[in-house]
Structure 1
Amino acid sequence: MSRTLTEGPRQRRSSRALTALILALGLLAMVISGCSSIPVTGPVGTLPARNLAAEDEAPNFNVTGPTGGESPDRIVRGFFRGGLSAADNYAVAREYMTPELAASWDATERTLVVDNDPEFEQVDDAEDHLTADVRVTRILDGSGVRQDRPKGENTELEFSLRRVDGEWRLSKAPNGIVVESSSFEYAFSPVTLYFYSDSKLSTLVPDVRWMAKRQGRSAAVATALLEGPAPYLKKAVYSAFPEGSKLSRASVPVENKVATVDVPESVLTDASDETRQRMLLQLERSLVDSVNVNSVQLTADQNAVEVGPRLNEPRINPAPDGAMVGLRGDEVVRYEDGALRQVEGGDKVGTALSDPTMSPVQEAYAVLTGGSRQLKLLTQDASVRTLFKGTQLVAPSYDSHSWVWTAQAVPGSPVLAVRAAGGSPVRLEGAWLGKGTVTGLRVSADGTRLAVTVKRSDGDHLLIAGIQRDKNGKPVGLATPLELTLSVKANRVAWASDSELVVTAPGPKNKVVAEQVSLERRSSTWTMLLGMTSLAVAPGTDRAAIAVVNDETVLAREGTTWRQVAKELGVNDLSYRG
């Protein structure tokens, strides 16, 4: 029996309390019997950074198959628990299925991470037809691409059952597994694929995925790399491998910590030695950083591949120098080692200045004037140029291709990119921008990604979208963004590395909290500062984050605390390059 799930009444056949008790007891049993060293709960921000290569790739959750006599709802619960173990292609979860479903079910199509105990219902009073209501906080697709659901997304899963040898078994179930958020990081861990920032293939860009801890992850990493970047990086990064590349065989054998990646000869037919070397470098960085191997051997149909002499290593996590720009009243100044230095022409930019930034590649400055109504450029020769006029412009970002980015903090307004040399602005729109107001933005140091804070009716959101450019570096589009969960108010964003960002909402009278948001691990909050009016964060380096409090006191972050480094300078709105 089946029906449209949104139609008609349904009868409740289980209670939250019973479900919670059974799931809690089941998880406790797993921990006591098989995983006593693995904690399963803890507050956000308490996990230490991990050595991914040293992790056990196949933790033993000690989940078991059905023992006999289970009711339909207990079969579904057992199926959920069985998804924690990826051993033998999720063999335990398949034990809860009919032979036909066990043969066709795809465990890796998606992973739903939930933060509530499922509520089970019978459909039309049919014992063999159940639904489970879960609140999804994160979804992983089949390639491990993460999409957060910050507010939780109620999802209904449908199951059908029939008896096999007198016992209930699932005959219909959605592909993929369901994992409680408290167990997620013990069943999954991040792996980092690397793609190139441009056609020169000189800088590597991380593409973080989440994959089950299981034997054979080297093959999963290599397969995902060959399939190409995540949706939020589409057409924004490059691969040395041609589109459509696949492994010649399903496995990537590892012997003496050397992974052998075998591809069809056709993948390499038109590849130069340099391109082959770039392929190898891309594989090496992705596999060595993600699984327990030291090097990679590239083969074609199981034959050794000559890749030529070793090229220079591509850059990873590029960092600007320590130069900082700030404002002293209506003057653009440099801040160095606790002291201010004048900038030629810095006192002739305009009035009501705010939010200056610097070019990553030259001594040029972008700044808002006229109460955030004009975006101006102060060039190396001290000339001043107006790049854009608008309303409520957000703090600009200056990218490595010499484009300056901003937006109008008006609902539905597009992101704007203006070439520093002048010209009409490029308006970059998307359905996702129409759902809110852009309040802050920052381009990554490698020039491939735009981080955006967006205000919507349900709060502040952080999104990352790949920047699609033409052959001359002109922005032509933004990829479908990746959304990350925030726990603080945010209208400013900065890159702390190529895979971590810091967001905050400065205010002269507020207790301001910054949050460090990671693509690889749990987010963490920084010690709050009363009256923080600006925060400067440098990507890719160990340089201290610099905060200005009450428009006069400059603090540097050391470890998890703040130390005063200057006072009464009259400087504010400090920013590193970018």
Structure 2
Amino acid sequence: MTRRLLAVLIALVLALTACSGVPTEGPVERVSAAPGRLNPGVEIAPAPPGRNATPITVVEGFLHAMASYQPNYSVARAYLTAEASRLWSPEAGVRIYAEGNPVVETDTSATLRAPVVGTLDTQGAYRQSTETIDHDFGLVEDAEGQWRISNPPAGLLVSEYLFSSAFTRVTPYFYAPGGSWLVPDPRFYPRGAGAYEGAARAVVDGATEWLAPAVEAAPRGVELDSVRVSASGVARVDLQRQGSDLTEAERVALATQLVWSYRSFESIVAVSVGWLGEEAWAIEPYGEVIPATGFPEADPTPRQGSRQLFALEEGRVVRVLEGPDNTHLQVAPAVTAATHAAVRQDALVAATVSADRGSLELAPLGESVLRPLGTSPGLRRPQFARDGSVWVTNDAGELAVVSPAGDWTPLVVEEVGDGRIEAFRISPDGARVALVVQWASGQRTLGLARVRPGEPVTVDGWRELNMATGSLAQLTVLDVGWRAADSLLVLVDDGRSTSVLTAAQDGSTVVPIGPTAAQDLVELAVAPGAPPMVRSLEGEVWRYNSDFRWSQHAAGLSEIFYP
């Protein structure tokens, strides 16, 4: 997608449709958005075709009407022949096409030829696209001599600009398998009053097709009836049961997902959940009305995690101290010649790679102790997963997970094939992993894969993410990190300079953020809630302050990392 236009999406109004796909019925009403997502863009007011409209006017009117939700898309259907209106299915998905591609008309036809930059499936999940539209709308004259469309597209066709104005991003949440924390599953929906109901329906219906194998399934025997929002901002979610009642634990889990999903709306201050026609469930410790800030323990990001910056300095693990003398605190006395390292989320233990890059060791911080985890040639930068295991790759591009007891399990990403994994970062919730892969062609690309726990752990579902922007067309991806549970920072090289991009996990937004003064950047240190850092080949560390405003933070470091 043209990233200049996609940047608008960062400030979208958060709202949802009346169903988990594109809505076709329900009332129309403005819905408020989460802080930082308000889009002050122009409201689209679709109009039916005018009398004696030209072919191109009919098609352009239809394209505008598709981008604005109406019950059953009645205005958009007014541009179609009776037969086409009967057969058209706007809920079949959305294709977003590039700006600067006007409809081409002749005396009797109108055709849209344009690159498709992204698609939404029936669940609202975004995916980047390299498809091209070449669609003849099949204009015909009706009995009154008025031009109408006999060949509408499958689903909706929406331009980038109208997509950024008329659609909004929302994040339903689902539980990680066997865990007590949530995993985000972002989607896009048209704006409208169905937003409240759509948020609940997404939770009840389950995760998107891609994420579903990596998270818990939706509760069985539960259907959404309706959602009512009071003037005071309390969302009452009425459910219908198709079988036996839910256990208390199942009620708490479902309420937790709904509360976190409703954090998408600044107009929602609390949530209550219950069976249709019955009192709301009383959920401890909140009672029948749960504040939108409830269930903080389900945060996808570990709440107990340290936000201190650590580094390697002359082979020693240090905590980086900001100051004019560039002096840092050694925290693992037993480590004197490490080549790579990571620190566990609680900042109590480090994992280090030996000087010959053949051994992986655990080093409790503050203690003169090293505990071997195993050996393998050419080890590279490790990372602790949320469950305490250590993930590590090597020069051959192989990925492995090492248990706290030292058991090594190779991880094969089948879709990557002969590609070599150069860098990786596990998401804060542990359900996804970002991979930088070098292919036989020499190209380095970024993608996401699912992490499915079990014996053994499975990594699959590779999806490449295109980081090219309008100003950075040819890119080599160098490093990646999770800025939040659903967004990334990506270090790239365009052949002239290196820079950092911020990107949504689905690639729907990709925006450069600098720095402009730093040169030869090679590594990121990123963690939710902590200021992003980037290191140069010479060991200079730069701290992110705001977009294109970075300040030098430290020097003389060979690796940087957050727990």
Q: Which of residues 252, 258, 273 is equivalent to 1:298?
A: 273
**Amino acid aligned to 2:275:** A
Q: Measure, in 2, the Cα distance between the counterparts of 1:403 and 1:438.
A: 19
Match of 2:237 in 1: 261
Going from structure 1 to structure 2, the CA distance change for 1:449 and 1:341 (only over 3 Å counts) comes to: same
Q: Which of residues 447, 464, 479 is equivalent to 1:463?
A: 447
Q: Which of residues 213, 216, 219 is equivalent to 1:238?
A: 216
C-alpha deviation, 1:153, in angstroms: 2.7
Going from structure 1 to structure 2, the CA distance change for 1:275 and 1:183 (only over 3 Å counts) comes to: same
Match of 1:523 in 2: 511
Match of 2:133 in 1: 155
Match of 1:214 in 2: 192
Q: Which of residues 108, 121, 135 is equivalent to 1:141?
A: 121
Going from structure 1 to structure 2, the CA distance change for 1:41 and 1:272 (only over 3 Å counts) comes to: closer
**Deviation digits for residues 180-207 of structure 1 (CA, Å, limit 9, x no counterpart):** 112321111111111223434x322222
**Amino acid aligned to 1:477:** V
Residues 1:341 and 2:330 are matched in the alignment:
yes
Going from structure 1 to structure 2, the CA distance change for 1:387 and 1:146 (only over 3 Å counts) comes to: farther
Matches within 5 A, 1:476-487: 476-481=458-463, 483=465, 485-487=467-469
Q: Which of residues 353, 360, 363 is equivalent to 2:348?
A: 363
Say whether the 8 Å CA contact 2:423–2:436 is kept in structure 1.
yes
**Deviation digits for residues 131-185 of structure 1 (CA, Å, limit 9, x no counterpart):** 6432011111122111123xx4323445445443233323332332111112321
Q: Measure, in 1, the Cα distance between the counterparts of 2:400 and 2:308.
A: 25
Going from structure 1 to structure 2, the CA distance change for 1:357 and 1:133 (only over 3 Å counts) comes to: same
Going from structure 1 to structure 2, the CA distance change for 1:505 and 1:529 (only over 3 Å counts) comes to: farther
Q: Measure, in 2, the Cα distance between the counterparts of 1:427 and 1:126.
A: 59
**Amino acid aligned to 1:513:** S
Q: Measure, in 1, the Cα distance between the counterparts of 2:382 and 2:133.
A: 39
SS in 2 for 1:278: helix
Say whether the 8 Å CA contact 1:57–1:213 is kept in structure 2.
no
Match of 2:457 in 1: 475
**Amino acid aligned to 2:432:** R
Say whether the 8 Å CA contact 1:191–1:210 is kept in structure 2.
yes
C-alpha deviation, 1:211, in angstroms: 0.9
Unaligned runs of 5+ in 2: 15-31, 287-294, 470-474
Going from structure 1 to structure 2, the CA distance change for 1:530 and 1:247 (only over 3 Å counts) comes to: same
**Deviation digits for residues 31-50 of structure 1 (CA, Å, limit 9, x no counterpart):** xxxxxxxxx99666578746
Q: Measure, in 1, the Cα distance between the counterparts of 2:461 and 2:190.
A: 26
C-alpha deviation, 1:214, in angstroms: 1.8
SS in 2 for 1:199: coil
Q: Which of residues 161, 172, 176 is equivalent to 1:182?
A: 161
Q: Which moved more, 1:220-229 or 1:328-337?
A: 328-337
Q: Which of residues 548, 552, 555 is equivalent to 1:564?
A: 552
Q: Measure, in 1, the Cα distance between the counterparts of 2:8 and 2:60.
A: 29
Going from structure 1 to structure 2, the CA distance change for 1:182 and 1:390 (only over 3 Å counts) comes to: farther
Going from structure 1 to structure 2, the CA distance change for 1:231 and 1:452 (only over 3 Å counts) comes to: farther
Residues 1:275 and 2:262 are matched in the alignment:
no
**Amino acid aligned to 1:518:** A
Match of 2:60 in 1: 77
C-alpha deviation, 1:213, in angstroms: 1.1
SS in 2 for 1:173: coil
Q: Which of residues 554, 559, 562 is equivalent to 1:573?
A: 559
C-alpha deviation, 1:336, in angstroms: 4.2
Matches within 5 A, 1:355-394: 355-361=340-346, 363-368=348-353, 374=358, 376-380=360-364, 382-385=369-372, 387=374, 389-390=376-377
Match of 1:21 in 2: none
SS in 2 for 1:218: helix
Say whether the 8 Å CA contact 2:436–2:444 is kept in structure 1.
yes
Match of 1:321 in 2: 306
Q: Aligned Cα RMSD in Å?
A: 3.6
Q: Measure, in 2, the Cα distance between the counterparts of 1:283 and 1:460.
A: 39
Q: Which of residues 485, 490, 494 is equivalent to 1:503?
A: 490
The percentage of aligned residue pairs carrying the same residue is 21
Q: Measure, in 1, the Cα distance between the counterparts of 2:296 and 2:199.
A: 21
C-alpha deviation, 1:263, in angstroms: 2.0
Say whether the 8 Å CA contact 1:101–1:170 is kept in structure 2.
yes
Going from structure 1 to structure 2, the CA distance change for 1:78 and 1:244 (only over 3 Å counts) comes to: farther
Say whether the 8 Å CA contact 1:219–1:252 is kept in structure 2.
yes
Unaligned runs of 5+ in 1: 1-39
C-alpha deviation, 1:295, in angstroms: 2.4
Going from structure 1 to structure 2, the CA distance change for 1:135 and 1:460 (only over 3 Å counts) comes to: farther
